[in-house]
Chain A
């Protein structure tokens, strides 16, 4: 409790500091050149380009939100240091960071705030639940939006030409999970359970398609809900079908107890789940059932396997004296993709650089970023993990087009055994 409070205060303090700097800097710089400008004619005028960033900066996900913000800020600082010019004017990038509390209602308010403040583009939000409702507001305002962590397919399926993401979505994830079950786990029979939420249902459908295409038989398709604790009946039914793999599409609060009940009922299948269950919480809730028969997936690539990942980690550590939590490298790429598009359009005007985002080909630290016509990452990579010694251990990465630098490193995952991941 104390630790959490301390973290919160730190976060708030840090957020204030960031804000304070952001507000003061232009003032001091505006004043500084003024006396100097008097004798000599001013150099090219400086234009301020504001980029909005939204994530939960308070509450239980505050550490992830702060991590996102730092990733974005690092890219902004580097762009400012590089002295980019757009349309003949020197540009100063500014990050306008807002707290959406991971709450869809708050998310739309933040979105409206960005539109009213006439920011030049938005990076975020962190959660699918906030990103999707906010994307409508950005679309109506013609405001480009790049999310680096919202994976729900709906986000890019609304036909909004302003919405992009630099992370694989759940369609890609579901297909990879299906391939993994059928090919790597050599499952002939699979059972699928989903929690009837938009996320769970979507991911399960994609998993089913891919597993069937790979020749696996779906012996059971069962359902529960995101508040349930008793899975004995459906697991018993599944036990009778003797599957090799049970796939659960939902969150860790159900996945953990489900793995435990599977063990209690003597279901001898491997347990596989998506990113919703890929958390330390799963291991806590599964208790003694959290053994090596449990697998999960996360969109993206672990930093160790990323082209330029090690260099990014160093830069990040140096700038913030903190370790990367989760999505910071993706945020870094998202901001760079936006700035890269502005450079190619030679303008920070949303109407002018928006068409350029879709044409992006950018070697990021996470992947080679190219968008399909919906704004999704082309061939997003998905990483798989297995429980070992009470922790999720990196197994391998499937799918996706890693950047050029990753090509020679491709065999590396086999060589670099999971043990290396701390």
Chain B
């Protein structure tokens, strides 16, 4: 039983990170109908930027958690600026182009950012200094560290704040209007360009937070880390229904749980026929099943065709 609870905790932690990254995909898709494949690389840049700042400060007498906070505070504006620039340079000029063009540009930006990351931080793996307390807490026989509690709680808080922002504020209303129909929103006095920029900036800030979480939890960072994470988060967004923020969160947590329980029990359930090397296959199998029966994802609404 304690093992089962432990697997649930593992899944929740992993799922919270997926969900944070998935929000970035789903916000951009909801507003522009664009899949921003460079989002995973923004996570990577955020993680490595914060790591560089943390390494600079590691020698000082500041307490560990403060150093990590400063690292995070440094990474967020860098990622915001990056997200703003990506949209401005790579996507805005193509907004009127056929849908395939910005999609390919997104893949291109992703590759460019990976190479830039490699040039700046090198090919080596970077260890995240052990600045945060890792003493495990015991809950019903399972173990969870303070950092992991923080990850789950922080992710939940950020998501709640984001939903409040979109549903209750002026900017949120403008975002929803733009998502519905950019042209009409423009006619109603919404500055569409500004709203899209804001969306990218918010998504990138979330990516920075996720990047610091990932590298602190797994104590490792690398220029390639964004690619797989981005792919998984994109899957989570599709699973939950891309374009829907609640869906992204549900999809992220669900994907984390499926992976965790899949890797933990698939071997025993199939009598050793399938092993933990099928961890990813299992996750994508569930995705396919969901898409067959609910093509717009678990919480996706049936979108009216845009004129």
Chain A residues packing against B (C-beta within 8 Å): 60, 196, 220-224, 227, 229-230, 232-234, 236-237, 239-240, 253, 256-257, 260-261, 263-266, 281, 284-285, 287-288
Query: Could you list 13 A-B pairs, sorted by A, with CB under 8 Å?
Result: A222-B263, A223-B276, A230-B14, A233-B259, A233-B263, A233-B279, A237-B3, A265-B136, A284-B127, A287-B127, A287-B129, A287-B130, A287-B219
Q: Evaluate contact between A224 and B3: CB separation under 8 angstroms.
A: no
Query: What A residues does B145 contact at CB under 8 A?
Result: 264
Given contacts A229-B218, A260-B219, contact A240 B13 (CB under 8 A): no
Q: A227-B224, A257-B220 are in contact. Are A264 and B134 (CB under 8 A)?
A: yes
Tell me whether A60 and B124 are in contact in the complex, defined as CB-CB below 8 angstroms, given that A222-B276, A227-B224, A253-B220 are known contacts.
Answer: yes
In the assembled complex, how far is the CB of residue A242 from the closest CB belonging to chain B, in whole angstroms? 10
Residues of A within 8 A of B263 (CB): 222, 233-234, 237
**Is B118 on the interface with A (CB-CB < 8 A)?**
no
Q: B: which residues have CB within 8 A of A?
A: 3, 6-7, 10-11, 13-14, 123-125, 127, 129-130, 134, 136, 143, 145, 214, 218-220, 222, 224-225, 228, 259-265, 267, 275-277, 279
Task: Check B218–A236 contact: CB distance below 8 A.
Answer: no
Give which listed residue, B3, B123, B125, contacts A236 with CB less than 8 A.
B3
- A-B residue pairs, 5 tightest by C-beta: A223-B277, A233-B263, A232-B10, A240-B3, A229-B218
Given contacts A227-B228, A237-B263, A288-B134, contact A264 B143 (CB under 8 A): yes
Of B14, B127, B220, B267, the residue contacting A232 (CB under 8 A) is B14
In the bound complex, residues from chain A placing their C-beta under 8 Å from that of B267 are 220, 222, 237
Given A233-B260, A266-B143, A288-B130, do A221 and B275 touch, yes or no (CB 8 Å)?
yes
With beta carbons under 8 angstroms apart, the residue of A60, A196, A227, A285 that contacts B127 is: A285
Does the CB pair A229–B220 fall under 8 Å? yes
Using A229-B218, A288-B134 as known contacts, list a sample of 13 further A-B pairs with CB atoms less than 8 Å apart, ordered by residue number in A. A196-B277, A222-B275, A227-B224, A227-B228, A234-B264, A234-B276, A236-B10, A253-B125, A256-B220, A265-B6, A285-B220, A287-B130, A288-B130
Residue of A nearest to B138 (CB): A266
Which residue of B11, B129, B218 contacts A257 across the interface (Cβ within 8 Å)?
A: B218
Across-interface contacts of B143 in A (CB, < 8 A): 264-266
Contact B3 A239 (CB under 8 A): yes
Give the distance in Å from the alpha carbon of A196 to the alpha carbon of B3 in the complex.
Answer: 25
CB-based contact B220/A239 at 8 Å: no
Q: Which residues of B contact A233 (CB under 8 A)?
A: 7, 10-11, 259-264, 276, 279
| A264-B145, A285-B220 given; A60·B3 CB < 8 A | no
Residues in chain A near residue B265, CB distance under 8 A? 237
Q: Across the interface, do A285 and B277 meet the contact criterion of CB distance under 8 Å?
A: no
CA distance A68 to B167 in the complex (A): 65
Contact B14 A281 (CB under 8 A): no
A284–chain B nearest beta-carbon distance, Å: 5
Q: Which of B6, B219, B261 contacts A239 (CB 8 A)?
A: B6
